[in-house]
Amino acid sequence: MLFGRPKKEEKVTDTGVVLIVDDDGDLADALKGLLELRGYTVTTANSGTAGLEVVRSTPLDAIVCDMIIKDMRGDEFFKTVTAEKPELAPKFIFSTGHSDQPRVMEFFNEADADVRILFKPFGEDELVDKVRAVTQG
């Protein structure tokens, strides 16, 4: 099932505060709804600047960041965030539909070996598994 309610046999036991940075408002809202059904508290930001405001004002357990967002790329957002709050580096999960762009893949290859990536289109379980790994890890 894609972006729906948890299965009846699944317990909603996940917790944590998640920021989704994506300029596709419909996708961000769908991801937010899915994660909230699982027990997470979720904030969305439709640009890098808006995301930075959240990072600076809210303790976060995970950040799901698209690689192509308004006013800055995902790698620029990551570098800005981790320059201010290096402890957030392992909390990032990147999403992209642009794996064919050399700059995107160059960033992933240069990033920490533990970088988590969601290649669009991705499924509900893949998203939840990565968020859970970050928030519980």
Check the CA dihedral 72-24-119-88 and report its sign.
positive
What's the pLDDT at 51?
A: 98
Question: Does the residue 9 lie in any domain?
Answer: no
What is the pLDDT, as a whole number, of residue 2? 45
In this structure, are residues 74 and 108 in contact, taking their beta carbons and an 8 Å threshold?
no
- Evaluate whether residue 3 is within a structural domain: no
- DSSP assigned state of 68: E
- Token pair in block for residue 55: 């990072």
Q: State the burial class of residue 76 (Cβ atoms within 10 Å of its Cβ: 0-12, 13-18, 19+).
A: middle
In a domain, 133, yes or no: no
Task: Decide if 93 is inside a domain.
Answer: yes
Mean pLDDT of 95-107: 75
CATH number for the domain that contains residue 23: 3.40.50.2300
Question: Does residue 8 sit within a domain?
Answer: no
For residue 77, give its domain range.
17-126
Phi, psi of 58 (to 5 degrees): -135, 130
For residues 119 and 88, which has the higher predicted lDDT (pLDDT)? 88
116, 134 contact by CB (below 8 A): yes
* pLDDT band for position 137 (cuts 50, 70, 90): confident
d(CA 41, CA 33): 10
| Total domain count, the chain | 1
Instruction: Label the pairing between strands 68-69 and 72-73.
Output: antiparallel
pLDDT on residue 77: 95
Cα dihedral across residues 84, 104, 91, 112: positive or negative: negative
Residues in the chain, how many?
A: 137
pLDDT at 6 over 50: yes
Whole-prediction pTM? 0.87
More confident residue, 10 or 120: 120
Q: Is 63 among the domain residues?
A: yes
What is the average per-residue pLDDT within 98-103?
Answer: 70
Q: Say if 94 falls within a structural domain.
A: yes
Residue 5 scores a pLDDT above 60? no
Rounded Cα distance between 26 and 9, Å, is 28
Any domain includes 30: yes
CA distance 71 to 126: 27
